[in-house]
Amino acid sequence: MKTLIALFLAASFAGAAPQVPDMKPPAELKQLGFLVGDFEGQNKFFEPDGSSKSSPATIKASMAVGGRFLSWGYKGNMPGFGDVEGLLLMTYDADSKKFLGWWYDNAGSRPMEMSGGFEGEKLVMTSLPSNAPGMEGAVFRSTFSKKSATEVAFLLESKMGDQWMTFIDGSYKKK
């Protein structure tokens, strides 16, 4: 009888053992390969009146945290603001079937959170309403496009009413 109880208890506890999570990066992250590398380029910053100013930018991007995240480090200068340094972390969430991203920069301590997916050859990510000082409630859309094997385009738009207005139009080439 003791043996039967011991077997029953062992079987009960074996079924309650925690499942080991799948540690492999989602296969969908391979779609971000065009964003990996060291890039140099130009950003064109647009004002609400339509005028623009350009400045150089560099990007160092690699897969990080066991290949589960794209780490996209940015350095540039924003006319009228000064030096900008930022970090985008991006992954794929199998439950929601969306790419998720968090943008951090030296303008604040809270990230801009975004999600989205591929629309044809372009990765389009839309932010939650911003909590950045002076930009509370603003919604942004980031579009990443592969222009060639060595060139990437980036477009950042902000939503004004029902329309998207271009804020940054960037083009970067691999070093």
pLDDT digits (tens, 9 = 90+) for 102-139: 999 998 778 999 999 999 999 999 999 987 667 778 89
pLDDT of residue 126: 98
Tokens found for residue 88: 């985008």
CATH value of 26-174 in 2.40.128.20, 3.40.50.11810, 3.30.70.870, 2.60.120.1570: 2.40.128.20
Nearest to 115 by CA among 127, 131, 97, 132: 127
* Distance from C-alpha of 89 to C-alpha of 75, rounded to nearest angstrom: 15
Domain ranges of the chain: 26-174
pLDDT of residue 49: 87
Tens digits of residue pLDDT in 42-100: 999 998 888 999 999 999 999 999 999 999 999 999 888 889 999 999 999 999 999 99
Q: What mean pLDDT is predicted for residues 139-144?
A: 97
Residue 9: pLDDT band by 50, 70, 90 thresholds? very low
Rounded to two decimals, what is the model's pTM?
0.85
